[in-house]
Amino acid sequence: MAASFSYLLCFLSFSLVGALNNGLGLTPQMGWNSWNHFACNINEQLISETIQALSTSQLSKVGYEYVNIDDCWAENRTSDGKIVVDYKAFPHGIAPLADLAHAQGLKFGVYSDAGYKTCAGRPGSLDHEVSDAYSYASWKVDYLKYDNCFTDLSKPEKRYPVMRDALNKVQ
């Protein structure tokens, strides 16, 4: 029995997935995401109230540190390809929400997609990865949830590293 356990332990230790040596993703991210309850029915007030509620709850004391806006925060792109916030829902943009989360000791995330559109049909990041990464960095976004809808049919293993590399360049 001891030999079987030692073999299993040895096997598991060699089957772990390697990660980039950039200090990110060392522990699971825990927090709140808007999608399951609110889907596209999100706005600045809801996210601001969520940040306040999480920051004062016991959850923030046990590791829940992210407030993530899922799909439907972006409206379109400018003529030069920059992502544009849905200013009807987020009249002050994204950066003030990230600032509020940080002031409350939390981290802040947004959603995008490795396709031309997000799953809800908003602008995706395909062919705009660098521009989007710079936008997220300028807003002080800590986390990106990245989906896989409306793609060019190339493999995710080809598309996802493009965004990873763009995000790593703007850290």
Instruction: Tell me whether residue 147 is in a domain.
Output: yes
pTM: 0.84
Instruction: Tell me whether residue 1 is in a domain.
Output: no
Instruction: Tell me whether residue 7 is in a domain.
Output: no
Q: Which domain holds residue 38?
A: 31-169
| pLDDT confidence bin for 6, thresholds 50/70/90 | very low
More confident: 11 or 27: 27
Instruction: Tell me whether residue 14 is in a domain.
Output: no
Instruction: Tell me whether residue 98 is in a domain.
Output: yes
Reply yes or no on whether the pLDDT at 133 is more than 80.
Answer: yes
Reply yes or no on whether the pLDDT at 137 is more than 50.
Answer: yes
| pLDDT confidence bin for 13, thresholds 50/70/90 | very low
Distance from chain centroid for Cα 27? 15
- Number of domains the chain contains: 1
Q: What is the pLDDT of residue 10?
A: 40
Instruction: Report CA Rg, the chain.
Output: 18
Reply yes or no on whether the pLDDT at 161 is more than 90.
Answer: yes
Q: Tell me the average pLDDT across 45-73.
A: 96
How many Cα neighbours within 13 Å face the side chain of 69? Answer: 30
More confident: 13 or 100: 100
Reply yes or no on whether the pLDDT at 7 is more than 90.
Answer: no
Instruction: Tell me whether residue 119 is in a domain.
Output: yes
Q: What is the pLDDT of residue 20?
A: 67
Instruction: Tell me whether residue 58 is in a domain.
Output: yes
Q: State the average pLDDT for the chain.
A: 90
| pLDDT confidence bin for 171, thresholds 50/70/90 | confident
Instruction: Tell me whether residue 18 is in a domain.
Output: no
CATH number, domain of 157, equals 3.20.20.70
With a CB cutoff of 8 Å and minimum separation 6, the contacts of 148 are 113, 114, 115, 156
Contact by Cβ (8 Å): 163, 129: yes
